Amino acid sequence: MFSFDRQKQIIEILEKDQSLSVTEMSKRLFASASTIRRDLNELEKQGILQRVHGGAVLLSGTNYDPPAAFRKYHNLAEKQRIADLAERFLSPSSAYFFDSSSTATVLATRLEKYPNVRIVTNGIEIPSILQSSEKLSVISCGGSLRSPWGEFTGGITIKTIEEMNADVFFFSCGGFSLECGATEFREDNVEVKMAFLRRSKLHILLCDSSKFDTLLFYNSIPLDQIDYIVTNQRPPEAYIGKIRGKLIY
């Protein structure tokens, strides 16, 4: 098994069991204890877990901003489902803003089949996986790099965004509630999203079901400025009643 696949399985195990010993992980993954320790050390460097005596604990909580490496692994099937549903908003000869979220990145990979499309993003993964061509133009906002989180933020990023316009802004969030709309871990992330919002016509939230009823510290994009909310399954009844016209699931 490749280290990428093994580390993904370690994260999935810890999501279910919260903490686990090296010995138990070694048994479950059919890998040596030394291999598991190397994987845990690497995942700790990425800010995904914390090593404890004899094992590891997955970092979590409303103040924990998960790095890009974790978000890339997390709820991948749900993100693919959301991308399937959101693809109806993609069309040739259009301009799109994508935030740095892993869900938006999954959707962006579908754009190669649409000619004469332009993408602008503050994430670092989309430019790395999509190549500019006659059919597809990819523009990075640049700015201050938040390396573990795979995104650019700050004044340069915002200034770049304000010089452009897009048909659709695709974005995700750290949490979502009926009271506050989209919420985030960091203020600089909110500022970038609001800049994208101001310079785009249609605003589409890509929100997996685990984020409903999660309220984080910073308010981001309010509900009345979100045109559609694309999620992977039917949300709680309270959401159905109040935002039925915005929901796609």
The model's pLDDT over 124-150, given as tens digits with 9 standing for 90+, comes to 999 999 987 778 999 999 999 988 789
Q: What's 38's domain CATH number?
A: 1.10.10.10
Same-domain check for residues 121 and 215 = yes
Domain that includes residue 17, residue range: 3-60
How many domains does the structure of the chain reveal? 2
CB-based burial label for 155 (10 Å; 0-12, 13-18, 19+):
exposed
Q: Considering 18, 42, 60, which residue would you say is the last residue of a domain?
A: 60
> Across the chain, what does the average pLDDT equal?
90
Same-domain check for residues 28 and 124 = no
Same-domain check for residues 110 and 192 = yes
Asked if residue 127 belongs to a domain, the reply is yes
Measured at the CA of 146, the angle between CA 143 and CA 149, to 5 degrees, comes to 130
Same-domain check for residues 27 and 96 = no
User: Quick one: pLDDT band at residue 1, thresholds 50, 70, 90?
Assistant: low
Number of helical (H) and strand (E) elements in the chain, helices listed first: 10, 15
Same-domain check for residues 76 and 157 = yes
Same-domain check for residues 87 and 52 = no
Same-domain check for residues 80 and 170 = yes
Q: Determine contact, residues 67/148, Cβ cutoff 8 Å.
A: yes
Q: What is the pTM of this model?
A: 0.80
Same-domain check for residues 43 and 116 = no
What is the per-residue DSSP string for 57-109?
EE--STT----HHHHHHTTHHHHHHHHHHHGGG--SS-EEEE-S-HHHHHHHG
**C-alpha span between 131 and 133 (Å, rounded):** 6
The whole-number pLDDT of residue 75 equals 81
Q: Determine contact, residues 71/79, Cβ cutoff 8 Å.
A: no
Same-domain check for residues 35 and 131 = no
Asked if residue 215 belongs to a domain, the reply is yes
Asked if residue 65 belongs to a domain, the reply is no
Q: Which residue has the higher pLDDT, 153 or 132?
A: 153
Most confident of 13-22, 25-34, 84-93, 139-148: 84-93
Same-domain check for residues 107 and 147 = yes
Asked if residue 33 belongs to a domain, the reply is yes
Q: What's 119's domain CATH number?
A: 3.40.50.1360
